[in-house]
Structure 1
Amino acid sequence: MLKGRTGGVVKYAAGALIPPIRIDRNDDAAISVQLAGALRNLILSGQLAAGQRLPSSRTFAREQNVSRTTAVNVYEQLTSEGLIQSRVGAGAFVSDAVERDRPQAPVTAPSPMKGSKPPRLARLSLDASEQFFPRIDHPNVPRAFVTGMPAYDQFPMALWARLSAQYWRRSPSLVLGYSDAAGLPELRAAIARHLWANRGISCTPDEVFIFNGAQDAFNRIGQMLLNQGDKVWFENPGHIGARNSLISNGATLVPVPVDSEGMDVSVGLALSKSFRLAFVTPAAQHPLAVTMSLTRRLELLNAAERCGAWIVEDDFNGELHYSGYPAPTLKSIDQTGRVIYVGSFSKVMFAALRIGYVVAPPDLAEVFRRIAGATMQGVPANLQATMATFVSEGHLATHIRRMRRIYTERQNALLSAAEEHLGGLLDVRPAAAGLQTVGHLAEGFDDVEVARKAGERGIILSSFNRLAFAPVGQGLIMGFGAVPPRSITKSVAQLGELLRDIRDGKA
């Protein structure tokens, strides 16, 4: 017999009449998990009141069109959570504890659409979050012009799988435990040897520290060295991920312009003669792809030495150079221990690897070691061990040489197609290193608008000004590493069509 209603759920003597619960049979979650989640929400929201009798598992199964086994599993799950109580001879009931312990919503909760108050944050996090620059998600499928994405189609998967399998055949006592928080010793040693042979950096394994990618390293460096309000020279335009990391650690960023020789140190000194840290990408500046001149490198080292500042050298793409010998790293010419070198395998290998590393100056190495031991859990040991073997057996050097040839071919395809399709619209410049280059738009174009309209046509581009503190001219950042030449050529033709449509007022 009908007894009444509670929040839309009808009460019967035989238990509440629970409305049909929508089940998605294509969902990865089991049907019992979906039903338990829906019933849990009915209880916690108050639509099923404390003490209210529930239908028998047999009745629940029939009404929801599921097996009785599934219904029993649902009831057992919610009983284990304390949301349902079983009473011998009486059936299942909503737990009395729900009414006592359920968080009560405010009587007049403000509508999110009318400016509800955000959650309370620590002052540093609140101040930083208001300054963050949005990052663009990378597509799962490689596309022309995507930045920072290497050629997954050229990665030696079979070799990597074989080396990984070798690791898992080791003794369980070696592979299943915790690894050194500072990094696997064999990987730290392999990186030290590789950097000496390929980047001219002399360091010991004890000065190398492994992180979950370069972004993790930036966070840790900021936590270690910055007090709130410390001045940090930062390239304009510049690396959004690093920028956000430094902001989150209280830095006051000083945007320093970049020209054909890299960061303009003289302007930096005019803006802030005293600074705590400088962040630079000297091998191929992100995003403008210019190489920092030796003169500027020496000026920056001298400026840092004079005021006791540190320099973070992000060498994320320095090994992918395309002509002659690369310029020396800042770290290799640093005579006074001011440079913190940050490297990553994400660009030369694959993004999911998430292995970055820091070469700390001798004066900071012990601090890095102590903080790592106290607060870090380390990168998964299987990835570190496989990477160590990949480096030590010479596969990394072979892979880098091969990828330089492939990326040279892909960049040449971009430059040739641009000459054919983008004349008078976009001046695409060659890059000396890295996985991307830039194009300067003709007068009358707005790079943010072009990038937005390109996205509407399925063309992924970034604009200069999305990465800038203040306007820096009109241009586009064009990745060339992710797809083969034919795809690049096709996409350049589509971009040319879009730019002509914008110029002619058709888009």
Structure 2
Amino acid sequence: MTLQLLDALAFDLEGGPQEPLYKKLHTRLVTEISSGGIRPGTRLPSTRSLARTLGVSRATVILAFEELVSEGYLQGQPGSGTYVAERLPQRPASVPSGPGVRSVPPSRPDRPRGAGCFSGVPERLYVPRRPVPFRPNFPSLDDFPIELWARLTAGIYRRHARTKNLLLGEGDAQGYLPLRSAIAEHVRLSRGVRCTGDNVIIFAGAQQALDVASRLFLAPGDRAWCEDPGYEGAYAAIIASGAVPVPVPVDDEGISVDEGRRRCENARLAFVCPSKQFPLGMEMTLGRRLQLLEWAANAGAWIIEDDYDNEFRFSGRAIPALHAIDDGERVIYLGTFSKVLFPSLRLGFAIIPDGLVDAFVAARGVVGRYSPLLEQMVVAEFMRDGHFASHLLRMRKLYSERHEAMLDCASRYLSDFIKPLPSETGMQMIATVADEFDPDEVARTAAAEGLEITPVSWFAVENHTPAALMLGFSAFSPATIEYGMKRLRTCFEVQHRHSTRTTCQ
């Protein structure tokens, strides 16, 4: 069973008609098996594992499985597990809605001309996913102070009960000024970024800011450097603008500027993650940063700095943001609240040089008009009253503890299979895989157990990547991390037995 199917099952159980959960699970599984979404012979997760993944009682899964077995969709094999039957029962044909009614196939619309620009967008960018171990880049939502957030929201409603036009009317395309000012002060203190609220523009997440920047800076056919391996959303935004991404390899110092020049000296844009390269995790050295800025100044190019993972540093000392050492005003700084607060907030920001603010604000007015005002007001108050700083401190401590828990569990349960690389910051770590294992196979086996294991190779275009996995820890308690590591060990053992049998044949 794929992670996408597990997610679909979870969403079905949360919504839909009011009927027993086991009936909902039964109905969805029948649909998937009958349509070929789950193929005959497929081994299903154990009832205990599936119940934990879906967040339901084991009894719910057992009842659904028992009904499916009785109907002939599943077969239990003692000591081995539960499998989809090789020969499926015949489903009754659908009954027409009335006499004489015949099915008329709908007309097929022409394919949109721009559809090709989005044909390669990975599902991870648009399919909602639950935080199953070990999904990376996901905050600990259980530890978010939602009661405080509710009080702040209610207080704003009360204060504006007589001035509804402000709260319920239209917003500023650039964003709520008190929030922009709070962001400017925060990045000045934490990242050394010199700006005012006038340089800040609020977006519906950093991805939207990246989309707008790509449209403004790139004409069709222009080239743009992207780290390889690198963030898939950057590649998608550049392709959607009609431009051509140029994969540039990274090394221990960050993006290889020399190689970028060799591949495309006159690129118009470079997208980089200097604070923590995605997905490999290294920090771009000061020398490499200066080299990148020099190239941009000479080439008349722009740099987009995605500072996605800087807030949760729990050891070492961070180098200031690339923007902080940019005297030529060539860097567009992107930040997001999706990871430091919560994803559904959909608020991010860009810090723009003075001469470009008007163009970005005009583009923001076209792309979504403006962000919801209430959420901006709550975040502004959350920051102004010190709650934001307190929340970050709590999360740094929490994530540091979970980072150590993952290292400990990897040492106890997986020392024969992976070698984790400790991280100084962020929400995930990289773990190299022993030579005999294929990270893609491990990921597929883990998905059947309700785990999300992300091979680094998924983010590579041309560059050869190490046999490594990206393992998120921030959203999971130490007990969940231990449970997940034990399940992951089982996945490695399954692949090891399979490779041993193949070798002996």
TM-score range for the pair, normalised by the shorter chain length: 0.7 to 0.9
State the TM-score, normalized to the length of structure 2: 0.75
SS in 1 for 2:498: coil
Aligned residue identity for 1:121: P
Q: Is the 8 A contact 1:337 1:363 kept in 2?
A: no
For 1:274-313, what aligned pairs fall within 5 Å after superposition?
Answer: 274-313=266-305
State the TM-score, normalized to the length of structure 1: 0.75
What is the deviation of 1:118?
7.3
What is the deviation of 1:388?
0.4
Change (3 A) 1:229 1:323: same
In the other structure, the counterpart of 2:474 is 481
For 1:115-264, what aligned pairs fall within 5 Å after superposition?
Answer: 119-122=110-113, 125-135=114-124, 137-140=127-130, 142-169=131-158, 170=160, 171-264=163-256
- CA distance, structure 1, for counterparts of residue 405 and residue 325 of structure 2: 35
> Which of 459, 465, 472 does residue 472 from structure 1 map onto?
465
Aligned residue identity for 1:341: Y
SS in 1 for 2:415: coil
Unaligned stretches of 5+ residues in structure 1: 1-25, 29-103, 110-116
Q: Does residue 453 of the first structure (1) align with residue 445 of the second (2)?
A: yes
> Which of 397, 409, 414 does residue 406 from structure 2 map onto?
414
- CA distance, structure 2, for counterparts of residue 131 and residue 502 of structure 1: 30
Q: Is the 8 A contact 2:316 2:424 kept in 1?
A: no
For 1:66-105, what aligned pairs fall within 5 Å after superposition?
Answer: none
What is the deviation of 1:227?
0.7
SS in 2 for 1:119: coil
Q: Is the 8 A contact 1:320 1:404 kept in 2?
A: yes
- CA distance, structure 2, for counterparts of residue 428 and residue 391 of structure 1: 35
- CA distance, structure 2, for counterparts of residue 466 and residue 392 of structure 1: 40
Aligned residue identity for 1:119: D
> Which of 246, 264, 277 does residue 272 from structure 1 map onto?
264
SS in 1 for 2:393: helix
SS in 1 for 2:493: helix
Aligned residue identity for 2:164: P
SS in 1 for 2:133: coil
Q: Is the 8 A contact 1:233 1:254 kept in 2?
A: yes
Aligned residue identity for 1:428: P
SS in 1 for 2:271: strand
What is the deviation of 1:501?
2.2
SS in 1 for 2:295: helix
Q: Is the 8 A contact 1:185 1:205 kept in 2?
A: yes
Report Cα offsets for 1:103-127 as digits up to 9, x if no partner.
x969xx8xxxxxxx873222xx244
Q: Is the 8 A contact 1:131 1:247 kept in 2?
A: no
Structure with more relative contact order (C-alpha pairs < 8 Å, separation 6 or more): 2
Unaligned stretches of 5+ residues in structure 2: 1-15, 19-103
- Percentage identity across paired residues of the two chains: 38
In the other structure, the counterpart of 2:353 is 361
Report Cα offsets for 1:266-314 as digits up to 9, x if no partner.
2111111111100011111111111111111111111111101100000
What is the deviation of 1:375?
5.2
In the other structure, the counterpart of 1:87 is none
- CA distance, structure 2, for counterparts of residue 364 and residue 446 of structure 1: 47
> Which of 387, 391, 404 does residue 395 from structure 1 map onto?
387
Aligned residue identity for 1:388: A
- When Rg is computed on C-alpha atoms for both structures, the one with the higher figure is 1
Q: Is the 8 A contact 1:283 1:433 kept in 2?
A: no
- May I ask how many residue pairs the two structures share in their alignment? 396
SS in 2 for 1:139: coil
